[in-house]
Copies of this chain bind each other. A is one copy, B any other.
């Protein structure tokens, strides 16, 4: 559905979008390997729709729209963060230049709205998608502001996690519930499920970003520390008036990426505090909040079990 919808795009931009999704190479030759990408958001949308008692096909357009929104924001995020690799391939901006990736992202943003035009509950889903997009953009900008700072508090880090990761998963569940014809209260509980799941996921990701095994994550060791990312364990360590807080702040005030030696020092400092355990507590708390919100939505039992399984898979992940 994603692919056929993008077939309606003008040709030059369609080519760029296909490059991003890994459908073809720059010569237009179809790639044999199935494109990577877990379509977690689409899965959430379809399960949310089933959880309110509807057939999943009612939510196909919504699931596609959410993936389009997600991919548009990836295209722009990679430009913003200067990330060179996406799904094991060069990021589009790295391969085709910033203008190409910027415009392909714009096209996917509009394509995500277009996707909903002829769906059931088009008005409600469109309005929800647009509101989520604005929150997402604000979250991304707060992340930009955060990255230019040398330190951050837990609340700021949590607010970025809610705005960036939480909002998209919230939107995925919300759109599925709306497409399934759910009443506003039920929609709101499923939205809350997705939002909390997103925050839990981001905190879990922050743990992997520091303590993850490079052999499993596919990323260099200590990648988040190296880039002086203000992730949750770092914010927790910096919170107190402790000597650890002072030392980590001093390390992070450097203007360039941390060396291996500095990363090891940073990890040593963080491990002197209870930052890892405190971050894990946040994962557990937001997971519990997510599960509670799900129960308030009185979901159908089978999709509810699948949503819970998907949530656990997302949070207890190695990469």
Residues of A within 8 A of B (CB): 9-13, 16, 76, 79-80, 97-100, 102-103, 105-107, 109-111, 113-114, 117, 122-123, 126-127, 130, 133-135, 137-138, 140-142, 144-145
Contacts of A137 in B (CB 8 A): 10, 13, 103, 106-107, 110
A12 contacts B141, C-beta separation under 8 Å = yes
Given A79-B102, A100-B144, A106-B109, 14 new contacts (CB under 8 A) = A9-B138, A10-B138, A16-B141, A76-B102, A97-B144, A98-B98, A100-B141, A103-B140, A106-B137, A107-B138, A113-B126, A114-B134, A117-B123, A126-B126
Picked from B13, B141, B142, the residue with its CB within 8 Å of the CB of A138 is B13
> Could you tell me if B80 and A134 are in contact, using CB atoms closer than 8 angstroms?
no
The answer to whether A80 and B99 have CB atoms under 8 Å apart is yes
Interchain CA distance A220-B253 in the complex, whole Å = 42
Measured in the bound complex, the distance between the Cα atoms of B105 and A103 in whole Å is 11
Structural contact, B117 and A126, CB atoms closer than 8 A: yes
Docked Cα-Cα span, A292 to B109, in Å, equals 36
Binding site secondary structure of chain A: helix
Q: Given A102-B102, A141-B16, are A133 and B117 neighbors across the interface (CB < 8 Å)?
A: no
Q: List 10 A-B contacts (CB under 8 A).
A: A9-B138, A10-B134, A100-B141, A105-B106, A106-B106, A106-B133, A107-B134, A109-B109, A111-B134, A114-B134
Query: Are B138's CB and A12's CB within 8 A?
Result: yes
If A103-B140, A126-B117 touch, whether A134 touches B9 (CB-CB below 8 Å) is yes
How distant is the Cα of A144 from the Cα of B102 in the complex, in angstroms?
Answer: 11
Find A113's partner among B10, B13, B103, B130 (CB 8 Å cutoff).
B130
B76 A106 Cβ-Cβ under 8 A: yes
Contacts of A126 in B (CB 8 A): 113, 117, 126
How far in angstroms is the closest Cβ of chain B from A280? 30
CA distance A137 to B17 in the complex (A): 13
**Cβ contact within 8 Å between A127 and B117:** yes
Cross-interface CB contact of A141 among B99, B127, B144, cutoff 8 Å: B99
Q: Which of B11, B76, B127, B145 contacts A12 (CB 8 A)?
A: B145
Which of chain B's residues have a CB closer than 8 A to the CB of A133? 106, 110
A76 to chain B, nearest CB (A): 6
User: A98 touching B110 by the CB < 8 A rule?
Assistant: no
The answer to whether A103 and B144 touch (CB under 8 A), given A79-B98, A133-B110, is yes
Cβ of A134: which chain B residues have Cβ within 8 Å of it? Answer: 9-10, 13, 107, 110-111, 114
Instruction: Report the Cα distance A105→B141, complex, angstroms.
Output: 12
Complex Cα spacing A111 to B241, Å: 43
